[in-house]
Chain A
Amino acid sequence: MRSFNYHKPDTLDAALALLSGNDEALPIAGGMTLLPTMKQRLAAPEDLVDLSGLPGLADVAMEGDILVIGAMTRHADVAASPLVKEKLPALANLASRIGDQQVRHRGTIGGSISNNDPAADYPAAVLALNAEIVTSKRTIAADDFFVAMFETALEPGELVTAIRFPLPEVAAYMKFANPASRYALAGVFVAKTTSAVRVAVTGAGPSVFRASDIEAALAESFDATALERISIDASELMSDIHADNEYRANLVMVMARRAVALAQQSG
């Protein structure tokens, strides 16, 4: 790893000042993605701005009907939070299955969504739950946040501070995990509110996406049987050493049916 200047600011303003106008600076949260990338020299920042000293970024709280999770909240803390377990158990369950316990002790929700790995779990929850991403300068709707593989709507120097989750009637996440890395080969998050059903797919495409055919079928009848005649177009899905696109397309439907069944049980 190339060396860098290390900064650990204790206010958000100081962090933003360090990042602003400096193309060679990067924020670091849990480092579970960034440090491996730096070891491979795929990233070589000159300045690293550690967000772990910023106050108030790791809080979990209800604001009215919205569950607000601070960007620096670790996966293990989301998984163990009594509030998340009560209000949005599908999200606690998702967090409990990211990587392994040691990854969950360092990795954060803000880091995960900012990175937008095509196989990451949180982006599926954020998109299906129609969450809002609060940043240092604005609030971004989930539909506008995830742009492409490893690409988000964040501008250079812009920091995610919190994610705001409206509570669904029922929701569930199912993933078929890569047996080695635990990343999703295909993961489907299903969320039903009083007005809509939203379904987000991760692991299968170049970036998380909403599956409109599945959403339409479930809006008519929120039952796994409603998906029996639906299939998903494999041509835009990924093929790699772990699975080809046809296999992923099939897995998406299997995970979608299982997620709906699980959501019905928990609802």
Chain B
Amino acid sequence: MQISFSLNDEPVTVDVDPSTLLSDLIREQLSLTGTHVGCDTSQCGACVVHVNGDSVKSCTMLAVSADGGEVRTVEGLSKSDADLHPMQIAFRENHGLQCGFCTPGMLMSAIDLVKNNPDPNEAEIREWLEGNICRCTGYQNIVKSIIAGAAAMRAAS
């Protein structure tokens, strides 16, 4: 099947088998490997991307469901290393990652949180991260990063 959608603000048209998952399309066919697949069973959140502005688990969505829509992956947050998104800077400065495997999903979830709730408190952040698992950090610094990232996003807007 041929589908067309916007990927990180660029139009793409691709041929996919209907059973292709959005995560597989992004990683295997479009070679954007920032989106990680940690579990493939809808639990870990490493694969979170934005579809039409909402954070979703790309391992549990058919690529064909993105037809006509807008998809943003972690690669779409910044144009270059010198020009990181405020949330990425906050994660770097607050030691919000260790191995970094969960980080793309954490960033995409966190940015969606701030869109819905520009000044989240710690409890709201922990609640929102229910679907994002991190095996390294113990979450403390992720929460700290998101508080700082939200403040930076408020200041920038």
A interface vs B, CB < 8 Å? 1-6, 8, 28, 31-32, 35-36, 38-39, 48, 50, 52, 76, 99-103, 105-106, 180-182
Known: A1-B19, A5-B18. A100 touches B65 (CB 8 A): no
Known: A39-B40, A99-B131. A106 touches B19 (CB 8 A): no
Give the chain B neighbours of A182 by CB distance below 8 A.
Answer: 130
Interface residues in B, total, Cβ within 8 A: 27
B88 interface hit (Cβ, 8 Å) = no
Q: Jot down 19 A-B pairs with beta carbons below 8 A, ordered by A.
A: A3-B19, A35-B21, A35-B62, A36-B41, A36-B42, A50-B64, A52-B65, A100-B45, A100-B131, A101-B109, A101-B130, A101-B131, A102-B48, A102-B57, A102-B131, A103-B42, A105-B54, A106-B61, A182-B130
B107 interface hit (Cβ, 8 Å) = no
B56 interface hit (Cβ, 8 Å) = yes
Whether B56 and A2, one on each chain, are in contact in the complex, defined by CB atoms closer than 8 angstroms, is: no
Closest 5 CB pairs of A and B: A100-B131, A6-B18, A100-B130, A105-B54, A3-B19
For the complex with contacts A50-B64, A76-B54, A100-B132, 17 further pairs of A-B residues with Cβ separation under 8 Å are A2-B19, A4-B19, A6-B64, A31-B65, A35-B62, A36-B41, A36-B42, A39-B40, A48-B18, A50-B65, A100-B131, A101-B109, A101-B112, A101-B130, A102-B56, A106-B56, A106-B57
Q: How many A-B residue pairs have CB under 8 A?
A: 70
Rounded to whole angstroms, the CA-CA distance of A102 and B55 in the bound complex is 6
Give the chain B neighbours of A36 by CB distance below 8 A.
Answer: 41-42, 60
Give the chain A neighbours of B56 by CB distance below 8 A.
Answer: 102, 105-106
**Residue from B17, B40, B42, B128 in contact with A32 in the complex, judged by beta carbons closer than 8 Å:** B42
B1 interface hit (Cβ, 8 Å) = yes
Minimum CB–CB distance from B115 to chain A (whole Å) comes to 11
**Residue from B18, B61, B128 in contact with A4 in the complex, judged by beta carbons closer than 8 Å:** B18
Rounded to whole angstroms, the CA-CA distance of A208 and B24 in the bound complex is 36
Give the chain B neighbours of A100 by CB distance below 8 A.
Answer: 45, 130-132
Known: A2-B19, A3-B18, A105-B54. A31 touches B60 (CB 8 A): yes
B interface vs A, CB < 8 Å? 1, 17-19, 21, 40-43, 45, 48, 54-57, 60-62, 64-65, 109, 112-113, 128, 130-132
Whether A35 and B60, one on each chain, are in contact in the complex, defined by CB atoms closer than 8 angstroms, is: yes
Known: A101-B112, A102-B131. A32 touches B60 (CB 8 A): yes
Rounded to whole angstroms, the CA-CA distance of A180 and B61 in the bound complex is 21
Give the chain A neighbours of B40 by CB distance below 8 A.
Answer: 39
Rounded to whole angstroms, the CA-CA distance of A76 and B109 in the bound complex is 14
Known: A2-B19, A3-B19, A100-B45. A31 touches B131 (CB 8 A): no
Minimum CB–CB distance from B54 to chain A (whole Å) comes to 4
Rounded to whole angstroms, the CA-CA distance of A5 and B42 in the bound complex is 23
Rounded to whole angstroms, the CA-CA distance of A100 and B43 in the bound complex is 9
Minimum CB–CB distance from B16 to chain A (whole Å) comes to 10
Rounded to whole angstroms, the CA-CA distance of A182 and B42 in the bound complex is 13
Rounded to whole angstroms, the CA-CA distance of A28 and B48 in the bound complex is 21
Whether B55 and A6, one on each chain, are in contact in the complex, defined by CB atoms closer than 8 angstroms, is: no
Rounded to whole angstroms, the CA-CA distance of A38 and B19 in the bound complex is 10
Rounded to whole angstroms, the CA-CA distance of A32 and B113 in the bound complex is 20
Whether A101 and B62, one on each chain, are in contact in the complex, defined by CB atoms closer than 8 angstroms, is: no
Task: Tell which of B21, B62, B128 has the most Cβ of chain A within 10 Å.
Answer: B62
**Residue from A31, A76, A180, A181 in contact with B62 in the complex, judged by beta carbons closer than 8 Å:** A31
Minimum CB–CB distance from A135 to chain B (whole Å) comes to 24
Whether B54 and A31, one on each chain, are in contact in the complex, defined by CB atoms closer than 8 angstroms, is: no
Closest B residue to A40 by CB, please name it.
B41
Closest A residue to B108 by CB, please name it.
A102
Give the chain B neighbours of A5 by CB distance below 8 A.
Answer: 18
